Amino acid sequence: MSLDFRAQLEHQSQLFRTAIEASEPSARVPTCPDWNADDLLAHLTEVQWFWSTVLATPVRHASQLAEIERPERADGRDALLSAFDDAHAKLCDALGSTDVGAARWMWTRDPGLHTAGYIARRQAHEALIHRVDAELTIAQPISHIDPVLAADGVDEILRVMLGGHPEWTTFAAQDGIVRFEAVDTGDNWTVHLGRLAGTHPESGETVDETSMLPIDSGEPIATISGRAWELDLWLWNRGDFDMLERSGDTVALQHVVDALAEGLN
């Protein structure tokens, strides 16, 4: 089943707005403890404004980013909500008027994702995760998550967020393959465990961390399974590992936990 990411972005953003509007401005966000509710609102506002600007300018190369002038954060809840509404409308309008295959700047290593279509995909998931944050902030049960969207979120985390290693790093595979299984959608993903290391040739930034590399197939020594939304939220550190079924090699399972802690901070 194909996903309408622009429609998902609109739906998730509306759920986010409803939950955040019901929160106290100073309420702590349990999944982002350094933020209060207004910080969360300001964050998603800035994110949606930024990508609307990338689409509309258009920004196709990293060299253009320095030309973007970011607006000051709005002051007070009413002003923040107004700024969010404006940023969201601009993002949806920009997506609606831009061909999905149009080239746009993107931070991912894979040039095939440097498109307006991937911006729509990324922002649908950004809005989903932050509306969950907003619902948890007001102690509201997490509202329904489309299992197809959630499965796509798992795919994005494993293949893009964790699997899109910088070109200046080297992945050293170790003994161990782990499979993730979404029991409600029938999707599954296989990763090879290993270690990622390297030094950026310009900045001098060094990386030496537990990691995973997506692979097409392989015999797993451990399996992690659950409903797609449970996997998606857990991979984004919004869910409890205990709600998932785990089997197989305990060292491999811990490797996955460590890789998430180091790769999605």
Over residues 23-65, the pLDDT tens digits come to: 999 999 999 999 999 999 999 999 999 999 999 999 999 999 9
- What crossing angle do the helices spanning 116-137 and 147-156 adopt, rounded to 10°? 110
Are 129 and 156 in a shared domain?
Answer: no
Give phi and psi for 163, each to the nearest 5: -95, -15
Domain end (from 107, 137, 167): 137
pLDDT of 167 reads 87
> In the prediction, which pLDDT does 261 show?
86
Same domain, 101 and 167: no
Same domain, 79 and 39: yes
CA–CA dist 250, 136 (Å, integer): 30
Mean pLDDT computed over 73-94: 98
155 and 73 fall within a common domain: no
16 and 65 together in one domain = yes
Give the least confident one: 7-21, 82-96, 237-251. 237-251
Q: Are residues 152 and 251 in the same domain?
A: yes
Does residue 142 belong to any structural domain of this protein? no
Q: Within this chain, do residues 155 and 132 fall inside the same structural domain, yes or no?
A: no
Q: Which of 84, 108, 137 is the last residue of a domain?
A: 137
Reference 151, options 125, 130, 133; nearest CA is 125
User: What CATH number is associated with residue 211?
Assistant: 3.30.1050
- pLDDT cut 70: percent of the chain above it: 98
Contact between 194 and 172 under an 8 Å Cβ cutoff? The reply is yes
Task: Tell me, yes or no, whether 164 and 81 share the same domain.
Answer: no
pLDDT tens digits for 100-130? 999 999 999 899 999 999 999 999 999 999 9
My answer on whether 109 and 215 are in the same domain is no
Whether residue 61 is contained in a domain is answered as: yes
pLDDT at position 1 is: 57
Q: What are the beta bridge partners of residue 194?
A: 173, 211
Range of the domain at 107: 5-137
Question: Which value, to the nearest 10 degrees, does the dihedral of the CA atoms of residues 150, 151, 156, 158 take?
Answer: 120
168 lies in the same domain as 98: no
The total number of structural domains that make up the chain:
2
pLDDT in tens, 139-176: 999 999 999 999 999 999 999 998 888 889 999 999 79
Please tell me the number of Cα atoms within 13 Å of 140 on its side-chain side: 18
Strand partners, 114: none
| pLDDT computed for residue 238 by the predictor | 95
pLDDT, tens digit, 9 for 90 and up, residues 194-233: 999 999 998 899 989 999 999 998 999 999 999 999 999 9
Last residue of a domain, which of 77, 109, 137? 137
Bigger pLDDT: 243 or 182?
182
pTM check: above 0.85? yes
Give a yes or no: residue 113 inside a domain. yes
Q: Which residue has the higher pLDDT, 4 or 263?
A: 4
In a domain, 160, yes or no: yes
**Residue type, position 86, single letter:** D
Mean pLDDT of the chain: 95
